[in-house]
A and B are shown apart, each in its own frame.
Chain A
């Protein structure tokens, strides 16, 4: 048996120390030479498309290399950032956030840094709504938009003209797939279909009235999904024949021959968007500004629509997208999530939603 004494311990420690020192010496010149940027995006097909089509274009245009970082989604990424940033480790220079997560990050404080918008002149192309003003100035520049759309299995049912058709027990008994997260859009869709839209979402009574309506829908829902992949499998396996799902993914699945059809009913589909935000403490603010500027270019917006399937944040007229290309990723009318209600009345909405789901 080898005995560990103080001397061998010191020796091991010393050699480990020198190894680490050598490592840092080797590493330094590389970092100093080239400009680089760590950009986060949602993992999977989405991130891969960014790596394959968008980041190379950016590097070609600016000479800045991009290191891609996988985010699970924007909401759960907040949990990671909340732990990482105060601890002094910065996983990304730029992260991608949905609007509600971005506002939360801004309100929590110390997670996303203010931007120098004069260094991002092309942000002018976006509607001012997509440049988010936090407490300390602009804190997010719109990246892309996506729709959560009505989908049906065209082999089993006719395409509904209204979301109200989902309430029809003759057509959809135990056959729908909807998200079980309170903020995933069913409340907004129901408010737009049967009530006064966002206005109804602003009061507790309104929320309860909407939930009463959703309660009537429950016998038609077989899958209350938690992860996106459950809905994908459900549609592929025929366990569900309709529901709410991402427009771009639904169109891609349809293109692959699966029985799914995305459609815009007369009330419209839920539209949300993502923003690029600079991580607090990042030393790459000038590179980040160049990236956001590049992303706001109509050409980049069109590139993302073609290669990733996101809807552009600039006017269609500014891009060279054809009608067919545009309709693949976008449509009208659009239902905007009641962000304010979700943020200010969060706990009440969640508990009431959970209660409604938990009733047998």
Chain B
């Protein structure tokens, strides 16, 4: 007796008669194929291209070389010279994404808490408004802030006409602003700067933060904090020991999601960040676009960004489950 004989026995067992392809199975097959073609294939393509080779003065060719990955860590001239330019860009990708996502969640949290205490109808109006604001693209938002921060039509103009600029000059603080890169000899300037970059990025994801936090916050059981209050806890103690711990998971989840979303942020960075604080996402585009035609190096950067983001998410998850276990 062999195993093969056993397998042959199996169909003899009573079973529903096969009817060929059921609609459900067909739908499943079609959806899987669509997933494969539109999600997995491009993904594999990026990975494969990242091993390609750039030809100076022309395009790139298929190859199998680790040069692009090496270049990411030490630069093209290695071993004669080392540059950490691309690591620096990766660092700023994380820097901006972390600060902006944390800031968005920190400011959205009290707002959403207050929102859940409003009347049902008012809540609905707010939520519709916030959902509607999601339809604005990054380009649109950046354009808006660009105008709000520009010299003749924005905040610097306000500084000038209200005499604030002159006052800053008189008390001598203007010189400090110039040294910080927040002023030119004529007036204050707010872009390009870290301030403008983080502001726009937080603004961009703020509605997401509210919408992601809302379900969890609206399910908060008020009796918990009431119980704490009857036991004599103050407002801050309640927030710290009751409210925050009970929404720890959605809080972490929201921050991580926004963080990943912001890692790929392009327009805000390319418009508002100074050249020394550009990120990997911007560098990827500048490599792939026509003036360089270096898709292999762009793809290698994309793969590294992806891996770094995955590592971050993994640690986030680990942290969560650790906290859960306690």
Interface string of A98-111 (1 = CB under 8 A from B): 00010110011000
Min CB distance B31 to A, Å, is: 14
A238 interface residue per 8 A CB criterion: yes
Residue contacts A-B, CB under 8 angstroms, 5 given: A174-B185, A233-B150, A237-B147, A358-B89, A358-B275
| Centre residue among A222, A342, A358 by max chain B CB count within 10 A | A358
Partner of A238, one of B151, B191, B277, B291: B151
B184 interface residue per 8 A CB criterion: yes
A128 interface residue per 8 A CB criterion: no
Partner of A79, one of B23, B56, B152, B290: B290
Contact A108:B58 (CB < 8 A) given known A351-B75, A351-B85: yes
Identify 8 new A-B residue pairs, CB closer than 8 A, beyond the known A104-B57, A357-B275, A360-B276. A103-B57, A222-B192, A350-B292, A351-B75, A351-B85, A358-B89, A358-B276, A360-B274
Q: Say what secondary structure dominates the interface of chain A.
A: helix
Listed from nearest, the 10 A-B pairs whose CB atoms lie closest are: A75-B290, A343-B57, A76-B290, A357-B275, A107-B58, A237-B150, A174-B184, A238-B151, A360-B276, A75-B291
A73 interface residue per 8 A CB criterion: yes
**In contact, B150 and A239 (Cβ under 8 angstroms):** yes
A12 interface residue per 8 A CB criterion: no
Interface string of A330-360 (1 = CB under 8 A from B): 0000000000001111111011001101111
In the complex, what distance in Å separates the CA atom of A346 from the CA atom of B23? 55
**Nearest-CB residue, chain B, relative to A77:** B290
Min CB distance A186 to B, Å, is: 13
Partner of B151, one of A79, A239, A347: A239
Interface string of A3-44 (1 = CB under 8 A from B): 111000000000000000000000000000000000000000
**Nearest-CB residue, chain B, relative to A181:** B291
A275 interface residue per 8 A CB criterion: no
Min CB distance A75 to B, Å, is: 3
Count B interface residues, CB 8 Å. 47
In the complex, what distance in Å separates the CA atom of A354 from the CA atom of B277? 11
Q: Say what secondary structure dominates the interface of chain B.
A: loop
For residue A107, which residues in chain B have a CB less than 8 angstroms away from its CB?
Answer: 55, 57-58
B229 interface residue per 8 A CB criterion: no
Partner of B88, one of A77, A78, A358: A358
Interface string of A199-236 (1 = CB under 8 A from B): 00000000000000000000000111010001001101
A190 interface residue per 8 A CB criterion: no
Min CB distance B117 to A, Å, is: 42
In the complex, what distance in Å separates the CA atom of A181 from the CA atom of B286? 8
Residues of B within 8 A of A (CB): 23, 26, 54-59, 75-77, 83, 85, 88-89, 146-147, 150-154, 178, 181, 183-186, 189, 191-192, 270-271, 274-278, 283, 286, 288-294
Partner of B153, one of A4, A181, A237: A237
For residue B186, which residues in chain A have a CB less than 8 angstroms away from its CB?
Answer: 156, 175
**In contact, A346 and B57 (Cβ under 8 angstroms):** yes
**In contact, B184 and A222 (Cβ under 8 angstroms):** yes
A82 interface residue per 8 A CB criterion: yes
In the complex, what distance in Å separates the CA atom of A156 from the CA atom of B283? 34
Partner of B289, one of A5, A76, A223, A357: A76
In the complex, what distance in Å separates the CA atom of A202 from the CA atom of B288? 25
| Centre residue among B56, B152, B275, B290 by max chain A CB count within 10 A | B290
Min CB distance A56 to B, Å, is: 30
**In contact, A226 and B270 (Cβ under 8 angstroms):** yes
For residue A139, which residues in chain B have a CB less than 8 angstroms away from its CB?
Answer: none
In the complex, what distance in Å separates the CA atom of A355 from the CA atom of B291? 17
Min CB distance B113 to A, Å, is: 39
**In contact, B85 and A174 (Cβ under 8 angstroms):** no
**In contact, B192 and A223 (Cβ under 8 angstroms):** yes
In the complex, what distance in Å separates the CA atom of A203 from the CA atom of B55? 19
In the complex, what distance in Å separates the CA atom of A134 from the CA atom of B146? 44
**In contact, B276 and A359 (Cβ under 8 angstroms):** yes
In the complex, what distance in Å separates the CA atom of A233 from the CA atom of B141? 16
For residue A180, which residues in chain B have a CB less than 8 angstroms away from its CB?
Answer: 275
A173 interface residue per 8 A CB criterion: yes
**In contact, B83 and A351 (Cβ under 8 angstroms):** yes
For residue A295, which residues in chain B have a CB less than 8 angstroms away from its CB?
Answer: none
For residue B181, which residues in chain A have a CB less than 8 angstroms away from its CB?
Answer: 174
**In contact, B152 and A238 (Cβ under 8 angstroms):** yes
**Nearest-CB residue, chain A, relative to B181:** A174
Partner of A355, one of B57, B83, B184: B83
For residue B292, which residues in chain A have a CB less than 8 angstroms away from its CB?
Answer: 346, 350
**Nearest-CB residue, chain B, relative to A339:** B57
Partner of A346, one of B56, B271, B277, B286: B56
